[in-house]
C-alpha cells in the first residue's frame, strides 16, 4: 500500500507544463482468473468477454488519472487440469465480476494527440470489485457463498467471506493517437486481490456430516464432488485434507483494447486548441 500512496501523490502533483484534458471511451477484451481452480495447461476456455467504460483526466503528457467501470466473467474447472489428482477433485465455478477502479497512469515517452502520438505506459491503482461464485449441480444453478462449503462460520473455521473486495490493478500497455480526437490502447493488467474465495475454494475439507448438520446436504455435496465421477462409490469424507491453497489469494486479469475520445477543451483547464500550446 505504501507504493500505491506514492503513485497517487506523484499523479496529483499540480503539473502545468502542458494542457489538461479529458478522455472518455470503452474497453473491449477478455477477463480471466488465476486461483485454486486455474488449470496448469494453457487453454482458451478460461477466457471470457470483458467490457466496460473508461474516463481519463490527463494532467500532462506523462500523467493521467483514470476511472473505469469494467465487467466480465471468471471461470475455473478442474476437468481442464492435466493433473489427475486435481481432476478427481472435480470442482468448477463461474462468477460475474464487476469492478470500479481509480488508476494513475504513467506515459513513459510522454503522450498527447498532436506530437507525441505513441507511448508505452504503466499503471497501478486501487479497485473495488463484486463477485458471486456459482456452479451447476443436478440441473440447477447454486450460488456457493451462502452454502458455506468450507464450513465458514462453524467453530475453528473461517468467517463467511464477503462478495465485495479490494484489488490492486497493476499492468502495462501501449497507446496510439489515431487522430487529434481519437486514441486506441492495448493493455494487460493483473488484479491482485485480498480474497482467496473468488472460486469458493481456499483451505481444507470439512467433515461431511458436520456440514450436513449445519448447512444441509447440498452444501456437503458441492464441497466434495469426487463421488460424481465414481457413481458406485459413497460420498467422500476427506475432513482436514487440502481442498485448496490458502497461502495465495485469487487473482484476475483484464486484457484488451480501449478506444477513447479526446475532449480537448478539458474540464476546468485550458484546451489544446493547436499544437503551439506545447
User: Which residues have a Cβ under 8 Å from the Cβ of 231 and sit 6 or more positions away?
Assistant: none
Question: Does residue 256 form part of some domain?
Answer: yes
152 within domain boundaries: no
**Does residue 97 lie within any of the structural domains?**
yes
CATH number at residue 46: 2.40.160.20
Three-class SS state of 146: helix
pLDDT of residue 148: 98
Q: What pLDDT is attached to residue 231?
A: 80
Are the C-beta atoms of residues 210 and 154 closer than 8 Å to each other? yes
pLDDT for position 15: 43
Q: How many domains does one find in the chain?
A: 1
pLDDT at 241: 93
Give the whole-angstrom CA distance, residue 262 versus residue 175: 13
Q: How many CA atoms lie within 13 A of 87 on its CB side?
A: 10
Q: Is residue 23 part of a domain?
A: yes
CB 215 within 8 A of CB 153: no
In a domain, 224, yes or no: no
- Domain hosting 168: range is 2-141+158-203+250-272
- Asked if residue 145 lies in contact with residue 161, where contact means CB atoms within 8 angstroms, the answer is yes
Residue 18: predicted pLDDT: 57
Per-residue pLDDT of the chain (278 residues; tens, 9 = 90+): 555 555 455 545 444 445 799 999 999 999 999 999 987 665 678 899 999 999 999 999 999 999 999 999 999 999 999 889 899 999 999 999 999 999 999 999 999 998 999 999 999 999 999 999 999 999 999 999 999 999 999 999 999 999 999 999 999 999 999 999 999 999 999 999 999 999 999 999 999 999 999 999 999 999 999 999 988 777 888 899 999 999 999 999 999 999 999 997 644 444 454 443 33
Q: Rounded to whole angstroms, what are the CA distances from 17 to 40, 62, 110, 188?
A: 49, 10, 12, 29
Tell me whether residue 26 is in a domain. Answer: yes
In a domain, 241, yes or no: no
Q: How far is CA 98 from the centre of its chain?
A: 8
Amino acid at each position: 500500500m505504501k507504493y500505491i500512496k506514492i503513485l497517487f501523490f506523484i499523479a496529483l502533483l499540480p503539473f502545468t507544463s502542458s494542457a489538461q484534458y479529458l478522455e472518455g471511451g470503452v474497453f473491449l477484451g477478455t477477463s480471466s482468473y488465476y486461483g485454486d481452480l486455474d488449470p496448469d495447461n494453457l487453454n482458451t476456455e478460461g477466457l471470457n468477454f470483458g467490457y466496460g467504460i473508461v474516463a481519463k483526466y490527463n494532467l500532462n503528457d506523462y500523467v493521467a488519472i483514470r476511472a473505469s467501470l469494467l465487467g466480465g466473467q471468471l471461470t475455473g474447472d478442474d476437468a481442464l487440469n492435466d493433473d489427475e489428482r486435481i481432476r478427481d477433485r472435480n470442482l468448477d465455478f463461474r462468477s460475474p465480476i464487476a469492478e470500479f477502479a481509480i488508476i494513475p497512469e504513467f506515459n513513459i515517452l510522454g503522450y498527447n494527440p498532436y506530437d507525441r502520438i505513441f507511448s508505452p505506459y504503466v499503471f497501478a491503482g486501487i479497485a473495488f470489485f463484486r463477485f458471486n461464485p456459482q456452479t451447476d449441480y443436478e440441473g440447477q444453478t447454486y450460488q456457493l457463498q451462502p452454502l458455506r462449503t468450507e464450513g465458514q462460520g462453524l467453530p475453528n473455521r473461517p468467517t463467511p467471506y464477503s462478495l465485495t473486495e479490494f484489488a490492486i490493478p497493476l499492468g502495462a500497455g501501449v497507446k496510439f493517437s489515431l487522430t487529434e480526437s481519437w486514441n486506441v490502447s492495448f493493455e494487460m493488467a493483473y488484479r491482485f486481490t485480498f480474497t482467496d474465495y473468488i472460486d469458493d475454494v481456499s483451505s481444507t475439507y470439512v467433515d461431511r456430516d458436520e456440514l450436513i448438520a449445519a448447512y444441509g446436504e447440498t452444501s456437503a455435496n458441492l464441497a466434495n464432488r469426487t463421488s460424481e465421477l465414481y457413481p458406485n462409490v459413497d460420498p467422500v469424507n476427506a475432513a482436514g485434507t487440502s481442498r485448496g491453497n490458502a497461502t495465495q489469494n485469487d487473482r484476475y486479469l483484464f486484457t484488451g483494447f480501449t478506444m477513447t475520445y479526446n475532449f480537448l477543451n478539458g474540464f476546468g483547464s485550458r484546451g489544446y486548441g493547436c499544437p503551439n500550446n506545447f
